[in-house]
Amino acid sequence: MRKFPELSPRYIDPHPSPKGTAYTDGQYLPVSEAKISVLDYGFLHSDATYDVVHVWKGAFFRLDAHIDRFFQGLEKLHMSIPYNKEQVAEILHNVVALSGLENAYVEFICTRGNAPDFSRDPRNAINRFIAFAIPFGSVANPEQLERGLHIAITDVVRIPPPSVDPTIKNYHWLDLVRGLYDAYERGAETALLLDSEGNIAEGPGFNIFIIKDGAIATPDHGILQGITRQTIFDLCQQLQLTCTARRITPVELENADEVFITSTAGGVMPVTKANGNAIGSGIPGPVSQRIKDLYWAMHDSDAWRSPVTYPDH
C-alpha cells in the first residue's frame, strides 16, 4: 500500500524573516506569520501595486504623498479596497505602533487577490490589502553610504511605459533583477537601466540625479516618480538650485561632477563610480552631501512628519 504524506493543518514557514508587524485580511500579526494564498494573482501574475513609506525617529515622513500615490495606482489598475485614505493611514500607524519600531520600512500593497473558481477575468477577483512594518532598510549599506556606491550602466532596457505604466509602483522587477546580476558580473554594486531610446531611466527601487557645473538633472521619462525625487525638487527650489527633469545619456552621467540616487529606502545616496570609472573626484561631492544633510534635517520639520503613538513599552 502506498503511504501518503500527512496533511498539515497549517503552514509553518521554515525561512527566517525580520521582526515586525503585518496587517492582512483584517488581522494584525507578527510579520513572520503573515501569508497570502498561492492563488492570489498578485503572486501569480505580479498583478499588484504597492507603496513604501518610512518612519524615522518615531514619525512617518510625507505619509500623505505616499497614500495619494497608492490610491492613484489602485484607480489606474481598477482595484478597490474597503478603506479610504484615513483608514489606510490608521492601519499603517497601527502596524508601526505594534511593531515598536522607531525607524521602520513600511510597505502597503494591494494585490488583485483570489478569484472564485480561479477565473481569468480580473474583474472577478477580490482585491487584497496588506501592510507591514519592518526595521528601516537602505539600498546602500553604511560603508557604501560613506564612500559612495559603485554603479554599472547596464544594457538592460526598463519595461517601457506603453507596456506597464511606470508611474504605478509595481512588482515587474525581472528587468531590474537582470540589471543587478549584470552589475555584479561587472564588479559593481547596483545597476542603472535604460529607457527604450538608450537614455538613463532608473535602478532597482531608486531614481538617479546628476550634477554638472552646479546644475542638477534627473530623467523625466520611463520612471517611477519617486517621493524622494519630489523632495529633491522641493529642496532645490528652497536652495535656489536649478533642477531639471529631462533626458540624460549614459555619457553625460559618466562625465558628471556628482551623481546620487534617491529612494525611501535610504534617502539620498552618493554614487562615486560608474562602469568602473570615478565620477568627479571619486568621493561623495559637496552638493550631494548638502542635499543629503538637508533631506535628513527635513525629518525634524512638523510640516512633513506624522508622529506615531506607541503603546507603553
CA dihedral 117, 121, 123, 126 (to 10 degrees): 30
**What residue type is assigned to position 23 of the chain?**
Y
Question: With respect to ligand PLP, which residue has the nearer C-beta, 68 or 102?
Answer: 68
Question: With respect to ligand PLP, which residue has the nearer C-beta, 98 or 192?
Answer: 192
Site residues (CB under 6 A) for ligand PLP, limited to 261-300: 262-264
Residues 151 and 135: beta-carbon distance below 8 Å: no
73 sits near ligand PLP (criterion: CB under 6 A): no
Query: Rounded to the nearest whole angstrom, what is the least distance from the CB of residue 52 to ligand PLP in the complex?
Result: 6
Considering only 221, 229, 273, 305, the residue that binds ligand PLP (CB under 6 A) is 229
207 sits near ligand PLP (criterion: CB under 6 A): yes
Decide the pairing of beta strands 126-135 and 149-157. unpaired
Q: Give the separation between CA 83 and CA 81, rounded to whole angstroms.
A: 5
Alpha helices in 240-285 (DSSP H): 250-254
Can you name the residues that pair with 209 across neighbouring β-strands? 260
Q: What are phi and psi of 229, to 5 degrees?
A: -55, -45
Query: Rounded to the nearest whole angstrom, what is the least distance from the CB of residue 224 to ligand PLP in the complex?
Result: 4
Q: Which of 14-22, 130-138, 188-196, 223-231 is the region at the interface with ligand PLP (rule: CB under 6 A)?
A: 223-231
Query: Rounded to the nearest whole angstrom, what is the least distance from the CB of residue 231 to ligand PLP in the complex?
Result: 8
CA atoms within 13 A on the CB side of 139: 27
205 sits near ligand PLP (criterion: CB under 6 A): yes
Considering only 73, 179, 219, 226, the residue that binds ligand PLP (CB under 6 A) is 226
Residue whose C-beta lies closest to ligand PLP: 226
Considering only 23, 60, 70, 206, the residue that binds ligand PLP (CB under 6 A) is 206
Q: Give the separation between CA 308 and CA 304, rounded to whole angstroms.
A: 13
Q: Give the separation between CA 250 and CA 248, rounded to whole angstroms.
A: 7
Q: Identify the CA nearest to 177 among candidates 156, 149, 206.
A: 156
228 sits near ligand PLP (criterion: CB under 6 A): yes
Site residues (CB under 6 A) for ligand PLP, limited to 43-62: 52
128 sits near ligand PLP (criterion: CB under 6 A): no
Q: Which of 2-10, 93-101, 136-144, 203-211 is the region at the interface with ligand PLP (rule: CB under 6 A)?
A: 203-211
Q: Which residue has the cell 559593481?
A: 188
Residues 43 and 109: beta-carbon distance below 8 Å: no
- Contacts with ligand PLP by CB under 6 A lie at 52, 169, 202, 205-207, 224, 226-229, 262-264
